[in-house]
Chain A
Amino acid sequence: MIPDSVYGAILLSVIDFFLSFVMIAGIGVVLSLFPYLNRLGEVDEKKLREGGH
């Protein structure tokens, strides 16, 4: 897929670095939605440990 040359190494690096930014930004977007989970209610940690949920 990627040629075994310096050009290939640069190509691999540019694609990988760019896609890493995109994917990790995607994870950031998903995480920014997490506070909305709290609208579902609150988990009582004490009850959770006792098996109450």
Chain B
Amino acid sequence: MFDQILFFFNALLQQTGAANLSLGNLVMIAVGGIMIYLAIAKHYEPLLLIGIGFSCIVANVPGPPDVPGGPPVSALLYVVKEGGLFHYAYEGVAKLIIPPLIFLGVGAMTDFGPMIANPKLVILGAGAHLGIFVALILAKVVGFDIHEAGAIGIIGGADGPMAIFVTVKLAPHLLGPISVAAYSYMALMPMIQPPVMRLLTSPEERRIEMAQLRRVSKLEKLAFPAVIAIIVNLFFPPVAPLITMLMLGNLLKEAGVTERLAKTAGGALMNIIIIILTVAIGSTMAADKFLTWDTILIVGLGLLAFVFGTASGVITAKIMNLFMKTKINPLIGSAGIASVPIAARVSHIVANQANPHNHLIFHAMGPNLAGVFGTAISGGIMLALLGVQ
């Protein structure tokens, strides 16, 4: 009888996930917990980290095997596998439906005035992308093929939708780790960027105050989306879907007669997409898939890409200062890495710590917005050079 009780208890245990919990699962549950902690306690991009962190935790709580003798399947994977809610969420990411919709929402929420007001600073949007190429070359050196290396490099563009877009085109099998690395590092920029920025600037440079930006007229703001959409569609067709949607969203905002549409694109629609996107990304973080050598390399290379991107942005700004009569604060250079508006906020905060009278946010938004175009241009040229449509 005792044997029978033990047998039934054992059978019951096998029906739960407890018997299948691995050390890797515990590590990833801790990673998810840290993400939620940073979101709530430190306010590091809670819109991204809450969803990614929570689904990372649940993806690592194993359930019973799906089929007798098979691997354990987490409850989250039941909704992620075919027929489940988040299967379609992930398909939305993988089939490139969600990234253009994110850009539509970003466009509807963004004032491109700071970029139009100071066109000299758009060059920082290219200067801060050295990280893409450092990561690309290193990825090739450690053994990834050229398409995979290109997809890993684009993490350094610090633009989640663009990273997803380029990865799906170049190396769709790496979509999980690359999107996790891109979005996690974007959220962690307030930790990654400041040490690099301080290392490369003197206290005097960080204290530089910049003159107020000129006022940009409504006519200029109305012309901007159409002009940029024409340029990008003309010269960078591989990435045109994203930038076209970005510009459509912006025109909805600036037109003045489509307030309802702009509000929906930048509000309710954007919120729905964020929920879907973060859960879709977090659900790929199961230990058995995530704790692999390739993923660890990708995450490491992504970090290097962010560090080098930040550094090259600051250095480009310092080089510009050699030729400019009115000096710019080199801290705005790091905002050229994209990741709107996180990188601009970091520039503002670091400058404000050096000089409490310094309010760099609007100045940093110019290079920050140019960084979006810089990443798109780099991605478009990369796809074209690799012969990918």
Q: A12-B150, A13-B137, A35-B220 are in contact. Are A24 and B373 (CB under 8 A)?
A: yes
Q: How far is the CB of A10 from chain B (nearest CB, A)?
A: 6
Contact B385 A12 (CB under 8 A): yes
> B361 interface residue, CB < 8 Å from A?
no
Q: How many of chain B's residues have a CB under 8 angstroms from any CB in A?
A: 51
Residues on B close to A: CB < 8 A?
115-116, 119-120, 122-123, 125-127, 129-130, 132-133, 136-137, 139-141, 145-146, 149-150, 153, 214, 216-220, 222-224, 227-228, 231, 235-236, 255-257, 259, 370, 373-374, 377-378, 381-382, 385-387
For the complex of A and B, the 9 pairs showing the least CB-CB separation, nearest first, are: A13-B133, A9-B140, A31-B119, A24-B126, A28-B122, A43-B218, A48-B256, A32-B119, A28-B119
Contacts of A35 in B (CB 8 A): 214, 220
Task: Point out the residues of chain A lying under 8 angstroms from B387, CB to CB.
Answer: 1
Chain B min CB distance to A52 (Å): 10
Main secondary structure of the interface of B (DSSP, over half): helix
A27 touches B122 (CB 8 A): yes
Q: What number of A residues sit within 8 Å (CB to CB) of B? A: 40
Bound CA span A42–B119, Å:
21
Interchain nearest-CB distance for A23 vs B (Å): 5
Please report A residues at the B interface, Cβ cutoff 8 Å.
1-6, 8-10, 12-17, 19-21, 23-32, 34-35, 37-38, 40-43, 45, 48-49, 51
Q: Assess whether B120 is in contact with A43, with CB atoms less than 8 Å apart.
A: no
Are A24's CB and B123's CB within 8 A? Answer: yes
Partner of A24, one of B116, B125, B140, B227: B125
Tell me the dominant secondary structure on chain A's binding face.
helix
Contact B217 A42 (CB under 8 A): yes
Residues of B within 8 A of A41 (CB): 219
